[in-house]
């Protein structure tokens, strides 16, 4: 197993768990893949959050983590791809860019139009 130098998934887990105000134990209890029933174990989550080397997580483990963190699967997958596979990702200091991109797929055409208008308004104010 190669030494991990990127920490996108670790950072996401640490930040989101703090936002939710839950313990590692609670996160582990909540992290169950809705399709297979696989659970993310406390020890693995602890190692991940503390930037200790772990094996690349399986699809089931990422689904479990997404469920426990109450995040879209895509957000967790992109962070894992960046950390474990060195793939690029959209980043912002607080993770909002990644979350916005993931949520955009859930929006209706009307919602997208409104979001585009809001974005344009903010861009004009800055320019």
Could you read off the pLDDT of 43-94 as tens digits, one per residue? 999 999 999 988 899 999 999 999 999 999 999 998 999 898 877 655 566 6
Residue with tokens 């009307």: 110
User: Tens digit of pLDDT for each residue in 98-110?
Assistant: 677 767 777 888 9
Identify whether the C-beta of residue 83 lies closer than 8 Å to the C-beta of residue 9.
yes
- C-alpha 118 chain-centroid distance: 25
Other beta carbons less than 10 A from residue 13's beta carbon: 26
Hey, what domains does the chain have and what are their CATH numbers?
8-126 (1.10.260)
Tell me the whole-structure pTM to 2 decimals: 0.68
d(CA 68, CA 13): 10
Higher pLDDT among residues 39 and 78, named by residue: 39
d(CA 79, CA 86): 10
Identify whether the C-beta of residue 24 lies closer than 8 Å to the C-beta of residue 46.
yes
Q: How confident is the model at residue 117 (pLDDT cuts 50, 70, 90)?
A: confident
d(CA 101, CA 119): 13
> Going by C-beta distance under 8 Å and a sequence separation of 6 or more, which residues neighbour residue 80?
8, 9, 56, 57, 62
Identify whether the C-beta of residue 29 lies closer than 8 Å to the C-beta of residue 65.
no
d(CA 38, CA 51): 22
């Amino acid at each position: 197993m190669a030494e991990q130098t990127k920490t996108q998934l670790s950072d996401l887990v640490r930040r989101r768990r703090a936002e939710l105000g839950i313990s590692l134990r609670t996160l582990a209890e909540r992290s169950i893949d809705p399709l297979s029933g696989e659970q993310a174990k406390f020890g693995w989550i602890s190692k991940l959050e503390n930037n200790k080397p772990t094996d690349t997580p399986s699809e089931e483990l990422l689904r479990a983590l997404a469920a426990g963190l109450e995040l879209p699967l895509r957000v967790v997958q992109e962070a894992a791809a960046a950390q474990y596979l060195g793939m690029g990702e959209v980043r912002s200091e607080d993770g909002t860019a990644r979350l916005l991109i993931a949520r955009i797929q859930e929006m209706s055409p009307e919602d997208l139009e409104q979001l585009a208008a809001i974005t344009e308004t903010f861009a004009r104010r800055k320019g």
